[in-house]
Structure 1
Amino acid sequence: MLRFTGEIAGAGTTSGVRLVVGRWRESPFGAFADVMLQDATGHRTLLAPTDEVAEFVSATYVFDEVVVGPVVAEVGSGGWRVRAADLLDVALEVGGRMPLGWVLRIPPARLATSPLWAAALDPVARVVLRGVRTRGSAAGGRSEWYGAVDQHRVAGLRGTWRGSDLGALAPVDPPCSFGFSSTPTTPSVTSVTTTIRL
């Protein structure tokens, strides 16, 4: 059972690009950031900082392309600045806590991040949050659980992907198709512990 603790930022854009940025403070690979990106054609790209991370993530999710290079997700007073492999440069403006964020803060963190709790919440997440699941089967016969403890709104976005402007912030619609779950349709930053059973 491998645990990754940090934040996941999910956002769509008017160009059709949808991105999921993981900023992991604690993991079997130490602290790192990675980006899963799906463009308007459906092409799925993983941007990973090391070969080791790329191998693990691409064995857990499905991509059409894997790029290894520096990935930095810096958090400042106004939000996130994400730069990856000289291909992606995006700034995310992070706003206040969402109503769901207040609800997620109610259970003790130890309970909220446990696989049993994530499994219990999965039927609710499927109904309330389109495209979102909190447990499921990943690639390679792996199982995965998402235990969320907070959520903030992404209020704005600007940046480029492969030299083209991403446009303005938009819902994550259609949902991303890297695995069994997408991020919420409403752009957000979710504090989460992801547990993966090999």
Structure 2
Amino acid sequence: MSRNPESTERRFRGKILGVGTTSGVRIVVGMWERSPFGPFTDVFLEQADGSSVLLAPDELVAAYVSGTYRFDTVSVVDLRARRTARGLDLDAGPLQASIDVGGISPLGRVLRIVPKPIARDWRWLTAIDPVARLVAPGAGTAGSAGNGRREYYGVTGAHDVTGVRGTWAGESLGSIAPLDPPVAFGFASMPRIPQVVDVETTIREPV
């Protein structure tokens, strides 16, 4: 895939995993199977003191993502995400984590009602944004991003995250906890209940 996209509308299709920990570290992992930059994984992390970190696999992804979301620190690291029978093993510089993924969540069962082409359409996502924020406080489906961009989250499936083990900067993450308080990288957070969602993110840039 091209590493020099020129389109004013960019689509990222894959999965986003969000989980809190008893250490206060909250983690959001983006696993993108299709994107203008090719397949990649990145990590948004918010520490117990509220400071935010982006872990990116290369400088191009780091520049684009940090121009869309807000971070206190941006680091390019050797980043590997490996799916396992239990869920996901993540090796991302100072973050080492094993995350367990369970069955379809209650949100996932609701999402099955909406046909996928509609669920990914920016007009639908704009219309349902107020409802999404009521159902999952902190979350949203449409909003403003950095540098005049508009962003839309088309979520089509969801599974529960049931466990997490690992370390951040050499310190234990502890065990699984709600994603609370909500992370504040952009216009919306992941839901409070830890889960992994199937998503197409559309970012529209000013012409």
Q: C-alpha distance in 2, partners of 1:196/1:72?
A: 25
- What are structure 1's unaligned runs of at least 5 residues? none
> 1:6 maps to what in 2?
14
Tell me, yes or no, if structure 1 residue 31 matches structure 2 residue 24. Answer: no
Q: Residue 105 of structure 1: CA displacement?
A: 1.8
> 2:195 maps to what in 1?
188
Say which of 158, 168, 171 aligns to 2:178: 171
Q: C-alpha distance in 1, partners of 2:114/2:45?
A: 31
Structure 1 ranges of 4+ moved more than 3 A: none
Q: C-alpha distance in 2, partners of 1:97/1:5?
A: 19
Q: Deviations over 1:107-139 (max 9, x none)?
A: 221111111121122111110101001000011
Tell me, yes or no, if structure 1 residue 109 matches structure 2 residue 107. Answer: no
Q: C-alpha distance in 1, partners of 2:43/2:79?
A: 8
What is the root-mean-square deviation of aligned Cα atoms in Å? 0.8
- What are structure 2's unaligned runs of at least 5 residues? 1-8
Say which of 83, 103, 106 aligns to 1:96: 103
Q: Residue 193 of structure 1: CA displacement?
A: 0.3
Say which of 73, 78, 103 aligns to 2:81: 73
Query: SS where residue 27 of structure 2 aligns?
Result: strand
Q: C-alpha distance in 2, partners of 1:37/1:146?
A: 19
Q: Residue 103 of structure 1: CA displacement?
A: 1.5
Say which of 128, 137, 149 aligns to 2:144: 137
Per the normalisation by structure 1, the TM-score is 0.98
Query: SS where residue 60 of structure 1 aligns?
Result: coil
Which residue identity lines up with residue 134 of structure 2 in the other structure?
V
Q: Residue 102 of structure 1: CA displacement?
A: 1.3
Q: C-alpha distance in 2, partners of 1:116/1:80?
A: 33
Q: Residue 172 of structure 1: CA displacement?
A: 0.5
Q: Residue 59 of structure 1: CA displacement?
A: 0.1
Give the total of aligned pairs: 197
Deviates more, 1:98-107 or 1:21-30: 98-107
Per the normalisation by structure 2, the TM-score is 0.93
Q: C-alpha distance in 2, partners of 1:123/1:6?
A: 24
